[in-house]
Structure formats: C-alpha cells, structure tokens
Structure 1
Amino acid sequence: MNNYFTEYENLEVHELMLRDRPRQEAYYNAILKNKELFKDKIVLDVGAGTGILSAFCAQAGAKLVYAVEASNLATKVALDLIDENGLTSVVKVIHSQIEEFVLPATAEKVDIIVSEWMGFYLLHEGMLDSVLFARDHFLKPDGLMFPSECTIFVAPCSVPTLFDYWQNVDGVNMERFASKLRLQKSTRPEIIQLKSNDLLHEGIVFHWMSLLDVNPKDLDEICFKEVVATQIAGKHQGFCIWFEVRFPGEETVVLSTSPHAPETHWKQCVVVLPEDNCETLEEKSPVAFQILMKRSANDARKYNLEVELLDPNVEEHPMPCSCHMTKCILTEAHLKMMDTT
C-alpha cells in the first residue's frame, strides 16, 4: 500500500481533522442545509476516510452514497461508522483507490461528488488529481462538486514567532540563535497560524479555479506576479499563503483558512524571506514579487514554492495602485478627477 494511504490509517490524523470545527461545520452546513440538492441523489465521496461526510450525505436524503477510501480505514473505521448510524442501506463503503473504482454495470453516473481533499496551501498532497479523475469518469454532465470552487490568496506579512519572540526570552536576548534557526528553516515554508495584524495587506487572489472545469495539467505550475501596496506599516518578513473553498447551494458556505478566520488545522503557509531582504515598511509601500508553485518532479503530491522579490520601480503597477510612489499618486488623483466630472 502506498505510504500516502497508510499514513491516513493513523487515527490521530483523523482526530485532528474531526476536531477542526470550521472544517466540520463547513461540510455539515454545506450538505445538511442544502438537503434539496441531495434528496434522492447518487453521491460519490472521494477519500471517504472515517465516512463522516458520507453519513452527512445520507442524512441529507441521498438515495445512494459510494464511500470510496483507499486506506484500510475503509474496513477498520468507515464500515463501523456507517453501521452504528444505521446507514448501511444507503452508504456503500468501498475499499479502493478512486482510479481503480468501477461503477456497477447497471449503475448510472453520480449526481454529486463530495470530498475533503485540501492540503496545506490548498494543493499539498495532490489529492485534487484524484477528485478530478472521479469528476471526469463518474459525474453526470450536470453534476455538482462539493466544494465547487477554490481561491488561493497571498499577502506580504510579518512573522513575529520567528523574529520578534527571540529578542527577549525570559530576559535573555536570543537573536543570534533565531538567525540560525531561520536559516535552518529557510529551505521549506512554515505552516503556522498568523494573527490578522501580522498581514501587511488583506491579501490578493493568487489563483482561482472552478472544480467543474479545471484541467489536472493546470495544477502542475501556477505562477503569479504582482505589486501590492502595504495597508499597514510593519516588518516585511515573508509571504503568507492561504485558501478558501466555496460550496454550491442556496445556503452559501465558505471554508476559509485566512488569518482573519477562525483557526483551522491547515493554518497558513508562510514563505520566510532571507534576513537580508527583510525590511520595515511604511503604510502604502509597494511590494513587487513573483510567486511560483510548481509540482515536484520527485513527488507529484508535493509542490516547490518559490518567491522572488522584484523592483517596484521597474515592475508595472496595477491600475489604480494605492502605493506612495509619485506616478501612482498622480494616476489615482487623475482617476478620481475623471470620476467627479
């Protein structure tokens, strides 16, 4: 069995996810508050895990749910959960990778695909590939995806836990230790929970996609270049990446991993800048950067994240731009004058 799947046999991994209230409430509300979408429908739960999302679908009125789980959790946990909730007539637990799953010969395609596939910075673990495989092979043309669309955000930020904390540890200055620690951590992004006031900008959309039409090849490499004006003064020590997913239905449900939202087990992904590139910025300072998210050649379930700082004097700014550079101030003033005429 692939190590990726055997790791999910650790029940503490599922405990972490099941105790994540924003995660649980998002799926519960998206399914149970949109019962009209599930009534008498056929549902496919990709990567069913403990089976709890399949149970939600059955409780919402689905007539048949295929709970497909590749790990041994299917037989060790999911079957028990479905049985103890009296749902065995509706939910069929299937121990299989989705790529090897075959619909019964007489069965019709499914109306809805449900999955909790998101990883750190959304795409870590590469499970979305399997969800899109299921979409392409098993979903009806007018079928629904839960969630249905995803957005990745990025913002310049401070990282006080890696910088400010070490200035005074119980009366002892440990900045030299902190410098070595940051160097050790510099080869990979940090998964940490920032506070909302650690962000120097509210965040800009780095990438958006609809799960109904995104192509798996689109996920191999995502590149984004922008200039943003800081909205508060602060120490620019890194770039914070987070995501949100949106579910279909009259009752709109959004699951956000933003520092502005309640904490989730995903937290945020922070690319920490080398110390030589860190500086204290005033409000409305322009930050020009390019960020590249590229699938690893050695492991398709992981991505390499690269951030490059660019020269804001050279890069093209958005229109309008609220930074304090003269050309942007003049452009913004000109646009305001046009609006009043």
Structure 2
Amino acid sequence: MNSQVDEQYFVDYEDLEIHELMLKDRPRQEAYHNAILKNKQLFKDKVILDVGAGTGILSAFCAKAGAKRVYAVEASNLAKLALNVIEENGLSEVVKVIHSRVEDFSLPDDEKVDIIVSEWMGFYLLHEGMLDSVIFARNKFLKDGGLMFPTSATLYVAPCSVPSRYQYWDNVDGIKMNTFGEMLRNVKSHKPEITQIDADCLLHEGTVVSWFNLETVTLEELDNINLQEVVAIQKSGNHQGFCLWFDCGFPSSSGKFEDMTIFSTSPKAPETHWKQCIIVLPPNACEAMEENTPIAFKLSMQRNPNDVRKYNLEMEMLDSDDVEHPLPCNCFMTKCILTKAHLQTMDTDDE
C-alpha cells in the first residue's frame, strides 16, 4: 500500500470518537462477544492474533475465553491505549500488545497462531482496505486448519426507495423544496451515500454481489468485483437507488451452521455504525415500479488506483429485454412466466 495513504489512515484511526462509535455499536459488540465468549472451547489454551486491535477489546474477549496467548497488533498510536485497557483488566499475562503494522510484525520463533480475530469491515464491506492486512496475516501466521473470526462475509445489493432524497423535499414545514431536492440529488448521484434506510424502502430482499470465504479469499479477488443481474421487484414502490449491505458469519464450536453467530448490517437488522451504502439514481433514471417489474443492472466495484483503501463504485442500468434473466425469474415478462410454469411442471412430473 502507498505509505502516505497508510500513514494518514492510521492517524485518522486514532480519533477516539471513531472508537466510541464502534464500542457503542451494540450489534457489533454483541456479535464479537457472543462469537468468542460462547465458543470458549475454540479459544481455550489457543494462540490468537488480533489484527488491528484498536482499543484491545477483542483481545480482552479472547483472553476471557481462555486463550493461552493473544497477540494484539495495532499500527496506530492507539496501541498505547490498548495496553492500558489490557492492564486495567489484569490481562497482561495473556495479551501482548504490539505497536506495529501486521506486515512488519513477526511472531517469536516463527510461531503460528490457532485463530485470527479482526474487525476489518468498512462501509460497503471493503472500504478502508483492511481486509488486505488480514489476508496477509492469514497467509503468514495462521496454522493449517486454523480459524478466522469472522470466517465469511457476504455483500448484498437491492433496488430501493430513498425518501430522504425525494419525498422529504415535497413539503418542508409547508414549503415545497423540490428544486433544492433535485439539485441535491444530482450532486448525490455521483457519490454513494452512507445512511440508514427503513426496511420498507427495500423493493427486493437483496441478491448476493459476492461471498468471501475468509480462509481462502485472495487479494486479487478483491481488486475487481462485478455483478450483472436481473431482479424482479417484490413490492410496488419508487425505484430511486440501490442499497448495499453485508453480513458476516463466525465459526461455532459445534461446527453447525445454525449455531454460527451471524452479524448483519441489513436495513432489516438493528442499526449499526456501518448503516448501508446507497447509490442514488439520477432523477431521470427513477420511476415507479409495480410488483414483478424486472430491473436489470450492472454493478462494478474497483479499487481506486490512487488510494487502494477505497473503491470506485459504478452502477449501470440495463435494458431488461436485452439481458438474460435468471432461472426461474419471477418478473412479469411473458418468456419468464412461461419458463417458470414449464419448470414447475417438470418438478411435478419428477415427483
């Protein structure tokens, strides 16, 4: 990574208000607390690496879960605060705070760790590029068969309404402000917006943009993420943008999926500091949609060549007549209705 970009990133990360926001984010805190403390069997007598330890709270969780040793690696000057937190909780015998980039860090005697813990997620999952450092640590320090916390991440997209950008300006204390609203929308349509929307604003349950297995994902897979899709609107509403959110899954001691801790930033889940990433459509691309209307689009996420911690997001609307639809497709186009009926007939015949 560019050293100047990295230096500024770590300086910004020292802002205590950022960490106050994260520490008061109950869904975030409860997900990590439950994933670690409710799976003590996985942590007992194990060696843990906490990548980007921040205030040290995740390292403290690991120590409370019975870890033999926790290496809390933090590149920013926040490492001094983390050391105080660990000492304050009487965990210095277990947790060793290291002020270093993980890329510059070495374990004693080329030791390997049993588990890597990190809270690396950014807006729309990949903003900040911290997953790069987690992958580096995994490749260099994790034992064969070791565990990643979280172990998977899924990025979703769904068409949505954005009433804060549209309906709100119809009446501001009795005054129509649509002219202002339109000018604001033109500005906002060039840059994704981080905001919380109501679950009712979703016009579709969401489709997967990308799923990441944190045990195997490579840096190359993160450089370019593309999705071309057709979705059928599941409820009538105004299509005014696209909503991006992510879920993360953590290992469980039982090994069963149903016992995994799943953490979500969906509009349907409790609000987090990540909120959602909204790509607002320009006014001429917005329209009222009836249920089962097909929406075809292409989403592209590419690393910013001047700042690898950021991505350029591009949304292109496509003509649903020119794009292949998924099978089955629930839209109201005749070809999809006939194909769906044919597939249902085949299923009935198989029975």
Q: What TM-score bracket applies, with the shorter chain setting the length?
A: over 0.9
> CA–CA distance in 2 between the matches of 1:56 and 1:151?
25
Aligned residue in 2 for 1:207: 210
Which of 3, 7, 10 in structure 2 is aligned with 1:2? Answer: 7
Distance 1:7 1:115 in 2: 18
1:240 corresponds to: 243
**1:101 is matched with which residue?**
105
Report deviation, 1:182.
1.2
Instruction: Work out the CA distance in 2 between the residues paired with 1:304 and 1:292.
Output: 8
Matched residue SS, 1:292: strand
Correspondence for 1:69 among 51, 60, 74: 74
- In the alignment, the residues of structure 1 paired with residue 340 and residue 224 of structure 2 have an alpha-carbon distance, to the nearest angstrom, of 34
2:87 counterpart residue number:
83
Please name the residue that 1:227 is paired with: 230
Name the counterpart of 2:17: 12
297, 309, 314: which one aligns with 1:301: 309
Distance 1:214 1:278 in 2: 36
Structure 1's consecutive aligned runs of 4 or more residues displaced over 6 angstroms after TM superposition are: none
Aligned to 2:142: 139
Structure 1 gap ranges (5+): none
Give the CA deviation at 1:333: 1.4
| C-alpha displacement of 1:8 | 1.2
Residue 291 of structure 1: SS of its match in structure 2? Answer: strand
**Match in the other structure for 2:63:** 58
Displacement of 1:185 = 1.7
Q: How far is the alpha carbon of 1:142 from its aligned partner?
A: 1.0
Q: Distance in 1 between matches of 2:165 and 2:78?
A: 37
Q: How does 1:118-157 map to 2 (within 5 A)?
A: 118-157=121-160
The whole-number CA distance in structure 1 between the counterparts of 2:183 and 2:214 is 42
- State the Cα deviation string for residues 243-265 of structure 1 (Å, max 9, x = none): 00100113410110000100000
Residue of structure 2 aligned with 1:285, choices 293, 309, 326: 293
Q: Which residue of 2 aligns with 1:196?
A: 199
- Structure 2 distance, partners of 1:24, 1:136, is 27
- TM-aligned CA deviation for residue 186 of structure 1: 2.1
Give the C-alpha shift of residue 108 in structure 1. Answer: 2.1
Structure 2 segments unaligned to the other structure (5+ residues): 1-5
Q: Deviations over 1:200-251 (max 9, x none)?
A: 0000111001011011111000000010000000000011000001001134
Deviation at 1:335, TM superposition (A): 1.6
Residues 247-300 of structure 1 show CA distances to partners (whole Å, capped at 9, x for unaligned) of 011341011000010000000001111110100000000000000000001100
Letter in 2 for 1:136: N
1:43 paired to 2:36:
no
How far apart are the structure 1 equivalents of 2:55 and 2:131? 19
Cα-to-partner distance string for 1:7-31 (whole Å, 9 max, x where unaligned): 1111100000000000000000000
Structural mapping, 1:147-186, within 5 Å: 147-186=150-189
Q: Deviations over 1:143-179 (max 9, x none)?
A: 1000000100000000000111010111111011001
**Structure 2 SS opposite 1:241:** strand
Q: CA deviation at 1:340?
A: 2.2
Question: Per the alignment, in what secondary structure is the counterpart of residue 161 of structure 1?
Answer: helix
3-state SS, counterpart of residue 215 of structure 2: coil
Which moves more between the two structures, 1-10 or 118-127? 1-10
Measured after TM superposition, the shift of residue 338 of structure 1 is 2.0
| TM-score, L = length of structure 1 | 0.98
Residue 96 (structure 2) pairs with residue 92 (structure 1): yes
Counterpart CA distance in 2 for 1:336 and 1:299 is 49
1: distance between equivalents of 2:25 and 2:100?
26
